[in-house]
Amino acid sequence: MNKNDILQRFGKKMVVLILFLSIGGLLRADEEAAIKASDIKIGMDTMWVMLTAFLVFFMNLGFAAVESGFARAKNCVNIMSKNFVVFAVSSLGFLILGWGLMFGDGVGLIGLKGLFFAGGTDNSPAIGDAYQGVYSAISWTGVPLWAKFFFQLVFCGTAATIVSGAVAERIKYQSFIVFSFVMAMLIYPVVGHWVWGGGWLAKMGMFDFAGSTVVHCVGGWAALAGVIILGPRIGKFSNGQIKSIPGHNLSLAAVGTFVLWFGWFGFNPGSTMAADPVVISHVAVTTNLAAAAAIMSATLMSYLLLGKPDLGMTLNGCLAGLVAITAPCAFVGVGSALVIGLIAGALVVLSVMMFDRLRLDDPVGALSVHLVNGVFGTICVGLFAQDKMTGTTTGNGLFFGGGLSLLKAQLAGVIIVGAFVFLMSMVAWVIIRAVMGLRVSREEEMRGLDIGEHGNEAYSGFQVFSSM
């Protein structure tokens, strides 16, 4: 045979073979391009979740500064210590059990699978039907398991640290540490499971985008129980009068409030847990507007009721607006956010005055900011929600033609969470008091917890003038 014969016999087969190989090659290239796109999405979502989680972590600095600024100098070391230790405790407690109780598959009340050390089976970042694991309630977000864990952890830390301000200047250090473990391992995760972990409140139709109830109400109710059982600071209520115990550093308090405001841009927009451009932009704006409106209304209220614009009230006003918008931020319009903020600012000023008159001593206004406005913000979802505002189907709130159904779900959630957290916290506080005591001695309280609890002075070398 010669060359031409070979070509004729094998030519067609050669052409088919070459065509087959090249088409196959092209298909492979498409597959690789498709994988890259979803990798990019996972990458961006994870970046977003981690960055916003870091912002929320930074809020711990804000809390430390606000609480310290509103307290007396002789208790600063103690307050700083409490704020430091509470995040460490939350980090440990949430890892040991909290995450599992909150997001593990289980029943409406608690998670039951993957309880300890976030060790359950999980193939995050797979989402939806591709997800295989025991944390299905949070399988809607396409980021790795530890990203989800870390993001949820900093929220748990926020709830736990709310308590430290309300019980400041008179609580024993060890008692607070023990209570914080209970918060991080039991109280917070159970409520979190009900609302975010696929539990029964979510099934009932309750919505809480970033945690007015899950974080702020939980912290607030626990703080209320603490304030009641501790009693007021010595000298706060004497001779039937309400005395003022001024904070020692309002500059620090203002700096702390700025830090919290900044951190809230992680708290709210981050709760999308996805780099979703429309939602995160909308949420950032509603968040900021609520804070701005609340600052104005709190300052105005302070002018009207107290004669002068009290900085403490302005700062509390800012935080109140932020707490109030935390639940509704993705479900309401920009105008609604303004209104919510305006009401929140007025509400917090009145609350601070109310708690004083109720003889409940709250050194930093934690109850007025977190509890009262956490409740208010949760209810606002039922009033101001607009269906699919940023994509979620919430139905319309009362003011947008949705009738009472959403509002009823929100109210029910508020009451149920309130009852649960308040009762559990009371039980915890009572047990702690019986086992190790709760409040420092009178002498220690007068001298300052810095000396009594820590043997340190915050401002060594300074002569601190305090007559109380």
Partner 1 sequence: MKLIIAYIQPHKLEDVKAALVKAEVGKMSVTNSLGCGEQMGYEESYRGIRFEVNLLKKVRLEIAVNEDYVSRAIEAIISAARTGEIGDGKIFILDLVDCIRIRTGAHGSQAIG
Q: Considering the rule CB under 8 A, would residue 460 count as an interface residue with partner 1?
A: yes
Q: Which of 235, 309, 391, 401 binds partner 1 (CB under 8 A)?
A: 235
Nearer to partner 1, 31 or 465 (CB): 465
Question: How do the residues of the chain divide into helix, strand and coil, expressed in percent and rounded to 5?
Answer: 70, 0, 30
Nearer to partner 1, 11 or 235 (CB): 235
Q: Considering the rule CB under 8 A, would residue 455 count as an interface residue with partner 1?
A: yes
Mark residue 171 as left, alpha or beta (left: phi above 0; alpha: psi -120 to 50; beta: remaining).
beta
Span near partner 1 by CB under 8 A; candidates 160-168, 294-302, 415-423, 457-465: 457-465
Q: Considering the rule CB under 8 A, would residue 446 count as an interface residue with partner 1?
A: yes
* First-to-last C-alpha distance (Å) of the chain: 115
Lay out the site mask for partner 1 across 399-438 (x = CB under 8 A, - = otherwise): ----------------------------------------
DSSP states along 20-58: HHHHHHHHHHHHHHHHHHHHHHHHHHHHHHHHHHHHHHH
Q: Considering the rule CB under 8 A, would residue 441 count as an interface residue with partner 1?
A: no
Q: Considering the rule CB under 8 A, would residue 246 count as an interface residue with partner 1?
A: no
Three-class secondary structure of residue 18 per DSSP: helix
Residues contacting 96, CB < 8 A, separation 6+: 116, 117, 185
Span near partner 1 by CB under 8 A; candidates 106-114, 195-203, 272-280, 449-457: 449-457
φ/ψ of residue 424, rounded to 5? -60, -40
According to CB under 8 A, which residues from 345 to 364 bind partner 1? none
Nearer to partner 1, 25 or 462 (CB): 462
Whose tokens are 């598959």? That residue is: 105
Whose tokens are 């916003």? That residue is: 52
Nearer to partner 1, 38 or 238 (CB): 238
Question: Distance of CA 435 to CAs 171, 333, 383, Å?
Answer: 14, 50, 45
Nearer to partner 1, 26 or 465 (CB): 465
Please state, in angstroms and rounded to a whole number, the distance separating the CA atoms of residues 155 and 267.
Answer: 8
Q: Considering the rule CB under 8 A, would residue 177 count as an interface residue with partner 1?
A: no
Q: Considering the rule CB under 8 A, would residue 387 count as an interface residue with partner 1?
A: no
Q: Can you give the binding site for partner 1, defined by CB under 8 A?
A: 235, 446-447, 451, 455-457, 460, 463-468
